[in-house]
Chains A and B, each alone.
Chain A
Amino acid sequence: AQSVAQPEDQVNVAEGNPLTVKCTYSVSGNPYLFWYVQYPNRGLQFLLKYITGDNLVKGSYGFEAEFNKSQTSFHLKKPSALVSDSALYFCAVRDGNYGGSQGNLIFGKGTKLSVKP
């Protein structure tokens, strides 16, 4: 069975400091990994994805994530946090061995990021 864990319900960071939002996953085949952000009363916005290739992927708004196969992790990072980054962040996975590039995603519970000035 596929699953995603986001161990932190909330992450607090001071503006200008680096941030990390943690994600670990479990799939039997090749993981397709995604990060989404949700601002209040809005739908989810795609940030970045890992399918294959370089383990460090760069996405929107200066975010990046590193795929670590041995640790089954895909942590989201940003070198310098902004107050406007405050939102709910979701990690998601699907098993790339089934159904090609498209198919439903399994989401983590979400991590609330709070960036204070």
Chain B
Amino acid sequence: GAGVSQSPSNKVTEKGKDVELRCDPISGHTALYWYRQSLGQGLEFLIYFQGNSAPDKSGLPSDRFSAERTGGSVSTLTIQRTQQEDSAVYLCASSLLSEQYFGPGTRLTVT
């Protein structure tokens, strides 16, 4: 079956611009997660959606980061006024049970 998909696979943007990253989870998975993977920081949790509950935003590094999940399926992570330290691979995952299944990631480069 189809796994988690993310788009774009690569994004290069200028400092100060806004970017949107998209995640399509596995059909039927109730939970969706965003993580960030960068050199020296490993994998960091950003935000977690579970069903119709309010999202857990405790991992978002600043108010420039936001995410939404429409219709309990597709999610968009938005980064406003990008900074060079935002450069990383952004990974999306979804789950129905305890194990999470990851997408291939979006590599964001801020110049």
A43-B102, A45-B102, A46-B101 known; A102+B45 contact, CB < 8 A: no
Report the interface size for chain B: residues with CB under 8 A from the other chain.
24
Collect the chain B residues with CB atoms within 8 Å of residue A51's CB: 98
B52 to chain A, nearest CB (A): 14
* B interface: dominant SS: strand
Report the interface size for chain A: residues with CB under 8 A from the other chain.
24
Taken together as a complex, chains A and B put the C-alpha atoms of A108 and B37 apart, in Å, by 12
Taken together as a complex, chains A and B put the C-alpha atoms of A114 and B38 apart, in Å, by 21
Contact of A104 among B42, B56, B102, B103 (CB under 8 A): B56
Please, could you name 16 A-B residue pairs with CB atoms under 8 Å apart, sorted by A?
A34-B99, A36-B102, A43-B102, A43-B105, A44-B93, A46-B99, A90-B43, A92-B43, A101-B98, A102-B30, A102-B31, A102-B98, A103-B56, A104-B33, A106-B45, A108-B42
Q: Does B79 contact A (CB under 8 A)?
A: no
Residues on B lying within 8 angstroms of A by beta carbon are 4, 30-31, 33, 35, 42-43, 45, 48, 50, 56, 59, 91, 93, 95, 97-105
Q: Considering the complex of A and B, which 4 residue pairs feature the smallest CB-CB distances, nearest first?
A: A107-B43, A43-B102, A104-B45, A44-B102
Q: Does A105 contact B (CB under 8 A)?
A: yes
Contact of A49 among B31, B43, B99, B101 (CB under 8 A): B99
Collect the chain A residues with CB atoms within 8 Å of residue B4's CB: 43
8 Å CB interface, A31-49 against B: 32, 34, 36, 41-46, 49
Extra A-B contacts (14), CB below 8 Å, given A45-B102, A104-B59, A107-B35: A36-B102, A41-B104, A43-B4, A43-B91, A43-B105, A44-B43, A49-B99, A102-B97, A103-B48, A103-B50, A104-B45, A104-B56, A105-B45, A107-B43
Q: Does A75 contact B (CB under 8 A)?
A: no
Taken together as a complex, chains A and B put the C-alpha atoms of A109 and B44 apart, in Å, by 10
